[in-house]
Amino acid sequence: MRFLNCLRSKQSFVYAFVKTNAFSGFIIGTVYDSNDYAPLSAVSITDEGSSITVLSLPGGRFMMQVPAGTSTLNLTKTGYQDEDVLNIEVIEGLAAEVNIMMDPVGTQAESIELAIGWNLISLPKQLSDTSIENVLSSIVDKYESVWAYVNGQWKSFDPVQPFFSDLTGMQAGIGYWIKMKEAAELTVIGSDPSGSISLADGWNLVGYNGSEVADIETALASIAGNFISVWAYINGQWKSFDPAQPFFSDLNNMTPGVGYWIKTSEASTWSLL
């Protein structure tokens, strides 16, 4: 498709024309929030080489005419981290289309390595869109089922039969059993989770909401005397910590992204100190 003076479309675009006689092409695209994939309007988009700037419209769409060649776009929006899109190849008279993700301020990406079979995990970041399909979008078709133990009851999600599943979301602070068909990497993009988790009397399947690996006694200091044991399933093996016999325990640290069974002697609030 060639473009002469303008681009006609059923969708609305912001557009800018170069004022020189240089050969030119177009960049069109959509800008999204990386957390929930919502389109972003009013994003300032500048072509670094020509200094042409446009704003994205509602629906996140934009269009700009730029000199042919290799372009770099600089994107800015209040509340979001600046984003650079490098090496967009623009051909004379043609349109290059791009989809761009912007990270809200305070968000970071974390990865969890998942082995074939059962994995006991938690989410190291809190996503704004907690729907299970969104949380697990980076490993779609690679897992068989997900299980959680919430308020003393098991809940599960089967991607083959989602309408018969009672586990509909995933969030930081909860532990999850996930059965994988193949090894894969789960990418989680979100903000730092809450620093406290409510624990019921008895068994709790939870995550560790710290940002870094911590000594287990330090991590659990706020519930010292209120828990009986901690268990984790790491690299296909069970490890445990018994506060009454710490020297005979093989679970020495707590790590973001790992799920833990914690047995308490009474209801408590686990706070990171």
Domains of the chain: 24-102 (2.60.40.1120), 108-273 (no CATH)
Q: How far apart are CA 114 and CA 143, in angstroms?
A: 10
What is the spatial distance between Cα 273 and Cα 269, in angstroms, rounded to a whole number?
12
Q: Determine what percent of the chain is predicted with pLDDT higher than 90.
A: 80
When pLDDT is averaged across residues 60-87 and rounded to a whole number, the result is 94
The answer to whether 175 and 260 are in contact (CB under 8 A) is yes
Q: How many residues does the chain have?
A: 273
Q: Mean pLDDT in the chain? A: 89
The model's pLDDT over 105-122, given as tens digits with 9 standing for 90+, comes to 877 889 999 999 999 999
Q: What is the pLDDT of residue 22?
A: 56
> Which of 268 and 22 is assigned the larger pLDDT?
268
Chain centroid to CA 173? 15
Task: Supply the pLDDT for residue 13.
Answer: 38
What does the pLDDT look like over 215-271, one tens digit per residue? 999 999 999 999 999 999 999 999 999 999 999 999 999 999 999 999 999 999 999
> pLDDT digits over 151-182, tens only?
999 999 999 999 999 999 999 999 999 999 99
State the CB neighbour count (10 A cutoff) for residue 61. Answer: 18
Please report the pLDDT score of residue 136 as a whole number.
Answer: 96
Which is nearest to 269 in space by CA: 198, 200, 206? 198
pTM for the model? 0.69
Residues facing residue 121 across a β-bridge: 176, 258
> What pLDDT is attached to residue 46?
96
Residue 164, sorted as left (phi over 0), alpha (psi -120 to 50) or beta, turns out to be: alpha
Q: What is the mean pLDDT of residues 138-145?
A: 96
Beta bridge partners of 98: 29
